[in-house]
Amino acid sequence: MNIKQLVNDLDPVTIIEFKNYLIENLSELCRVKNSNSKIICNHRNKHIVCKHCNVKMNKNGKTPNGVQKYICKICKLTCSETTNTIVAHSHLSFDVWSNVIDNLLDGFSIRRIAEENNISIYTSFRLRHKVLLALKNFVKGIEIKGNAQSDEKYFHINLKGTKTENMPRHSKKRTSTKSPYRGISHHKVCAVSTIDEEDNLVLEIVGLGRCTTEMLESALGDKVSEANNFNTDSATAYRKFCKNHNIKLHAVPSGRHSNGDINISKINGIHSQLEIWLSKFRGVSIRHLQEYLDWFVFIFTMKKKFSLNKIKTESYNTIVLDNNYIKANDIVKLNIPISLDVAYAEYMNQS
Ligand SMILES: [Zn+2]
């Protein structure tokens, strides 16, 4: 719906009345139970299609809360406007959802989000993880184009939240929590990080230890068809990767940030921003680390793409209007993106 067009047709007196009506009733209008479904309905750019018969579904009345229902005339399958969206089965209205999304962009904790929005800690936890999983779809679509810089970011393995019986190593008292291995080893989680000149950013966990060509393929292989130049450190893994994808490689000697005009300062700057941002969460479990990286990429992209006053609504649109439905039970089933058996092999053999 084009708001400009809509208002242009009104006379000035009606516009002022309209404005006053909106101001007086804004919170009521945003709080109605079918507010999310109304937005989804207005922004839907394609018909709802039956997943069995692949035909357009017909409107079929409304739920008691005013949410549009649909039916397939062939197999009689029914669904509603919010089926397959992140707000399916949610009783929270638009104002809560958009506030939670806004709070997340500001990096609020689960507890603070619960307090700000008058919801339980459990609901806040679920909403946060639903939103973070939804960001995955958005982040998946990002491609690297033209000239790019690429580097790796290494993280310690954090097993926060893992039950003792599921721990791959014996918990034991140690004077130091540091890994016995210094530098890059199989005790470090490797994330490939790449940014292009248009600020398209990829941050993806690829495995344990030093980055290999296979790891680069898994993170970037399907995202670089329009990339021309890669500035990287001297990691040999890039040679084969760039050759595979017809990308010109410019390597900066190890230990340095530039080599004449060739530098990786932009991606190193991203690493510094990421470290500061992650430190707010006081340790992120390896199970959830990729979600946090996606979250960072999302915020970074939104800030580059939209002016401050549009970030909130654009973020809501991006997250809610896609098919991002996630079952609450699936949240805790996230897999750990690395093999703990490999990381802790030497501990597993002792006993
Ligand atoms: Zn059908």
Q: Which residues surround ligand 1, an ion (CB under 5 A)?
A: 50, 52-53, 72, 74-75, 77
Q: Is the pTM of this model over 0.85?
A: no
- Dist. CA 67–CA 81, nearest whole Å: 7
Please provide the average confidence, as pLDDT, over all residues in the chain.
82
Residue 136 has pLDDT above 70, yes or no: yes
Please, which residues bridge with residue 266 across strands? none
How much distance in Å is there from the Cα of 52 to the middle of ligand 1? 5
How much distance in Å is there from the Cα of 79 to the middle of ligand 1? 11
How much distance in Å is there from the Cα of 189 to the middle of ligand 1? 45
- Average pLDDT estimate for 288-302: 90
How much distance in Å is there from the Cα of 57 to the middle of ligand 1? 8
Domains for the chain: give ranges and CATH numbers. 143-170+180-315 (3.30.420.10)
CB-CB contact of 64 with 109 (8 Å): no
Find the helix or strand (DSSP H, E) in which 134 lies.
helix 121-140
pLDDT band per the 50, 70, 90 thresholds, residue 115? very high
Q: Please list, in sequence order, all residues whose beta carbon lies within 8 angstroms of the beta carbon of residue 216, skipping any fewer than 6 positions away.
A: 192, 206, 237, 238, 241
pLDDT, residue 347, reads 63
On the CB side of 230, CA atoms within 13 Å amount to 29
- Dist. CA 20–CA 18, nearest whole Å: 6
How much distance in Å is there from the Cα of 78 to the middle of ligand 1? 9
How much distance in Å is there from the Cα of 51 to the middle of ligand 1? 7
How much distance in Å is there from the Cα of 56 to the middle of ligand 1? 9
8-state DSSP, 315? H
State which of 178-182, 265-269, 336-340 shows the largest mean pLDDT.
Answer: 265-269
φ and ψ of 47, to 5 deg: -70, 155
How much distance in Å is there from the Cα of 33 to the middle of ligand 1? 28
pLDDT, residue 6, reads 81
How much distance in Å is there from the Cα of 4 to the middle of ligand 1? 38
pLDDT, residue 286, reads 84
Write out pLDDT tens, residues 223-271.
999 999 999 987 789 999 999 999 999 988 777 667 777 888 999 999 9
DSSP 145-210: EEEEEEEEEEEE---TT--GGG-SS-----S--S-SS-SSSTTEEEEEEEEETT--EEEEEEEESS
How much distance in Å is there from the Cα of 71 to the middle of ligand 1? 8
pLDDT, residue 97, reads 86
How much distance in Å is there from the Cα of 319 to the middle of ligand 1? 27
pLDDT, residue 331, reads 54
How much distance in Å is there from the Cα of 134 to the middle of ligand 1? 26
Contacts 24+ apart (CB under 8 A), 165-172: 168/340, 168/341, 168/343, 168/344, 168/347, 168/348, 169/344, 169/347, 169/348, 170/347, 170/350, 170/351
Kindly state the percentage of the chain with pLDDT values over 70.
83
How much distance in Å is there from the Cα of 76 to the middle of ligand 1? 6
How much distance in Å is there from the Cα of 73 to the middle of ligand 1? 7
- Average pLDDT estimate for 1-29: 84
- Average pLDDT estimate for 308-325: 75
- Average pLDDT estimate for 97-125: 88
How much distance in Å is there from the Cα of 317 to the middle of ligand 1? 28
DSSP 274-300: HHHHHHTTS---HHHHHHHHHHHHHHH
- Dist. CA 248–CA 230, nearest whole Å: 6
